[in-house]
């Protein structure tokens, strides 16, 4: 089996795949920046045991992380689990997509995984809106190359900042309110947070669509895909998305690993 690990700033997502790419199980766990390799091993063992699975069945692993110190802890732990070096996703390796940016090395591993998975699933051009700790917009142009996008504070980060700094506002559930015109403090906050995040994504995606269209008269409209922990909530507030795909990033990590395996096999042939 193959284990895909997406280490985010707030949550870490795990995807267990058959080697042919069939997703068997997905878990989300809180990202704790103080976790050691031993502690991560204990947590991972617990998830597998919970579902009657064995860590010894994992033969291959790839990790995409935006928290360097945790990526190192995961790497050490997984090296012991599988008995070989896990594939660490980053822009310095051939991941199977051209990165048409002035400094490709600065692109986060999760954004590369999103771009590859979206292109392979939905074709190109495609725009991914990933609602995590940050909200990332990742753009693949009509040629299939990663072009960049936009990065802004995520929904939860914005809400935490608001509640911490506005004395009369208390934390409320981040759900879709019945109307944009809030008639209570709670629904007003929900409107500003949830519908506001949707409107922000709509505006940025529309401008990006316009810029892509200006590059050629025959450029098709980009498919728009939502992913990340809040994507289903935001999707209730907008018709922006052609698809909502919560497994997009972990599939992309698998596809990067598969690309590396096939590339190695072709060299050996």
pLDDT of residue 20: 94
Please say if the pLDDT value at position 101 is more than 90: yes
Topology alike, domains 2-88 and 104-251:
yes
The C-alpha atoms of residue 235 and residue 242 are separated, in whole angstroms, by 10
Confidence of residue 139 (pLDDT cuts 50, 70, 90): very high
Instruction: Judge whether residue 171 has pLDDT over 90.
Output: no
CATH architecture of the domain covering 104-251? 2-Layer Sandwich (3.30)
d(CA 5, CA 82): 14
237 C-beta neighbours (distance < 10 Å), count: 21
Catalytic residue among 60, 110, 130, 141: 110
Report the length, in residues, of the chain: 269
Q: What is the DSSP letter of 194?
A: I
Of 63, 56, 119, 1, the closest CA to residue 257 belongs to 63
CATH class of 2-88: alpha beta
Residue 110 is among the residues annotated as catalytic for this protein: yes
d(CA 240, CA 203): 10
Exposure string of 169-199, with b = 16+ CB inside 10 Å and e = fewer, is eeebebebbeebebeeebbbbbbbbbbbbbe
Q: Which residue has the higher pLDDT, 26 or 219?
A: 26
pLDDT score, position 67: 87
Examine the pLDDT at 166 and tell me if it is beyond 90. Answer: no
**Domain limits, the chain:** 2-88, 104-251
Q: Quote the CA–CA distance of 233 and 239 in Å, as a whole number.
A: 12
What does the CA dihedral 168, 172, 175, 180 come to, rounded to 10 degrees?
-20
Q: Tell me how far apart the alpha carbons of residues 28 and 48 are, in angstroms, rounded to a whole number.
A: 13
Distance spanning both ends of the chain, measured CA to CA: 24
Q: Looking at residues 12-37, what average pLDDT do you find?
A: 93
The band of 7, judged by pLDDT with boundaries at 50, 70 and 90, is very high
- Whole-number average pLDDT of the chain: 93
Higher pLDDT, 129 or 214: 129
On whether the CB atoms of residues 130 and 227 are closer than 8 A, the answer is yes
Calculate mean pLDDT across residues 141-145: 95
Predicted confidence at residue 269, as pLDDT, reads: 65
């Amino acid at each position: 089996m193959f284990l895909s690990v997406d280490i985010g700033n707030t949550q870490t997502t795990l995807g267990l795949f058959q080697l042919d790419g069939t997703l068997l199980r997905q878990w989300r766990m809180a990202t704790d920046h103080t976790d050691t390799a031993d502690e991560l091993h204990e947590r991972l063992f617990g998830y597998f045991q919970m579902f009657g699975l064995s860590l010894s069945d994992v033969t291959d692993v790839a990790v995409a992380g935006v928290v360097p110190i945790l990526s190192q802890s995961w790497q050490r732990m997984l090296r012991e689990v599988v008995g070989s070096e896990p594939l660490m996703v980053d822009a310095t390796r051939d991941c199977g997509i051209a990165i048409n940016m002035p400094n490709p090395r600065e692109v986060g591993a999760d954004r590369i995984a999103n771009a590859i998975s979206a292109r392979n699933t939905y074709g190109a051009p495609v725009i991914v809106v990933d609602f995590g700790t940050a909200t990332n917009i990742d753009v693949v142009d009509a040629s299939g190359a990663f072009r960049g996008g936009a990065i802004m504070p995520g929904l939860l980060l914005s809400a935490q900042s608001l509640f911490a700094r506005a004395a009369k506002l208390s934390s409320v559930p981040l759900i879709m309110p019945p109307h944009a015109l809030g008639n209570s403090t709670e629904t007003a906050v929900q409107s500003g947070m949830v519908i506001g995040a949707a409107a922000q994504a709509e505006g940025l995606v529309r401008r990006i669509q316009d810029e892509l269209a200006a590059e050629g008269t025959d450029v098709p409209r980009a498919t728009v895909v939502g992913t990340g922990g809040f994507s289903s909530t935001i999707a209730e507030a907008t018709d922006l998305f052609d698809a909502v795909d919560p497994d997009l990033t972990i599939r992309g990590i698998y596809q990067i690993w598969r690309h590396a395996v096939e590339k190695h096999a072709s060299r050996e042939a």
